[in-house]
Amino acid sequence: MTTREVGKIGGNMVKKMVEYAEEQMAYGADIND
């Protein structure tokens, strides 16, 4: 595996985690309202 491939996979994982976290925060905001 090249460094570029590893970075691409890591970037995709981070992006998914951020999207998931944003969804969770959105649900939390809805509940708090």
**Domain positions in the chain:** 1-33
- Intervals of the chain under pLDDT 50: none
Indicate the pTM of the whole model: 0.56
Place of tokens 């996979």: 9
Q: What is the 3 state secondary structure string of the chain? A: CCHHHHHHHHHHHHHHHHHHHHHHHHHHHHHHC
Report the greatest alpha carbon distance in the chain.
47
The reported pLDDT for the residue numbered 28 is 76
The distance of Cα 14 from the centroid of its chain, to the nearest Å, equals 5
pLDDT given for residue 20 in this prediction: 94
- pLDDT score of 25: 86
Q: Which residue has the tokens 């970037």?
A: 11
